[in-house]
Amino acid sequence: MSTLPVVAAIDGSDDSLRALDWAHDAARRRAAPLRVAHVRQYAAWAQPDALAVGPPPDPDDDPVLDRARARLREAGGGPDAEFLGLEGVPAAALPELGAEAQLLVLGSRGRGGFASLLLGSSSLAAARDAECPVVVVPRPGREVHTAAPAEPGPRVVVGLHVDSPDEATLDFAFTEAALRDARLQVIAAYPWPVQTWMAPPGQVVAPVIDEVAVASETRVLADGLLAPHRGRHPGVRAETQAVPGDAAGNLVAASQDAGLVVVGRHRRRLLAPARMMGSVAHAVLLHAAAPVAVVPPAPPED
């Protein structure tokens, strides 16, 4: 059985070439082939089917792929690479590349769109719709506010919702930490302060809930959820942090100097059957200082 490739989607921009470097390293760590794909965008209004992908252009006659070949030659060594040229609308074509990949890697922005945007439409569409995990590599220089500097050394950050944990996200985070010989920082956020509304209407009554007890219970629940993953990855040092506040803000703060931040994508629901990004994943993609992996949920068991 062949190993699925790591796919780097590029468009010749500096952002996409940084994503190529990240994908090259990821493929090397996984002992997987590297597939470099360039989608030449055509004008959607000029095509009979804007979602269709046209006949593949000759990858040997593509300046963008030529630049990628040169960059990989300069890097030296690494996995076997193949080069793929496509025509179509990138936001539609790129997620399809994830059907035959173990990982899809993109830059946070491409050549199109508005320079003021923090996240390009193609990266957003891929992170929302691809069948495999999607890594979005941000531009360098993003600054985030963090309460205290993290312990030195390689580090992977993952968010854990103790009320609805996603096993696929945790498995990906532990695997990535093992591949990188990195510490795994598990952020389990709980809402605080808790507000209770009682008579007379409109008045906030001080909560009778003890925050220390909430933090302790959150940590206990998180450690229980992590136990099977720690057993499968005994070499990974996973540390649980139960923190007050919103999950997105805590994950963004933890992203400073991290090698990767891992978040889950929303499961499909009965009343919302379309794929959804989720507010936490979206906010982390917009603001994190480190590359962000968005992991699709595991398919439901029969």
Phi-psi category of residue 16: left, alpha or beta, with phi > 0 → left and psi -120 to 50 → alpha: alpha
- In whole angstroms, give the CA distance from residue 155 to residue 167: 20
Q: Which of 105, 104, 124 is nearest to 113 (CA)?
A: 124
Domain ranges of the chain: 6-137, 155-295
CATH 3.40.50.620 fits 6-137, yes or no: yes
Per-residue pLDDT of the chain (302 residues; tens, 9 = 90+): 579 999 999 998 899 999 999 999 999 999 999 999 999 876 444 444 444 444 556 667 789 999 999 999 998 877 889 999 998 888 888 999 999 999 999 998 755 544 444 567 888 889 999 999 999 999 888 888 776 777 889 999 999 999 888 999 999 999 999 999 999 999 999 887 765 555 466 665 555 677 888 889 999 999 999 999 999 999 999 999 999 988 999 999 999 999 999 999 875 444 444 456 778 999 999 999 999 999 998 776 64
Specify whether the CB–CB gap between 153 and 210 falls below 8 A. Answer: no
Q: Which residues make Cβ contacts (< 8 Å) with residue 74, sequence separation at least 6?
A: none
Q: What angle do CA 178, 76, 63 make, to 5 degrees?
A: 110
Element (H, E) at 293: strand 292-295
- CA dist 74 to 59, 67, 78, 249, Å? 20, 11, 11, 38
6-137 with 155-295: one CATH topology?
yes
Backbone angles phi, psi at 28, to 5 degrees: -65, -45
- In whole angstroms, give the CA distance from residue 42 to residue 21: 26
CATH 3.40.50.12370 fits 155-295, yes or no: yes
Specify whether the CB–CB gap between 71 and 36 falls below 8 A. Answer: no
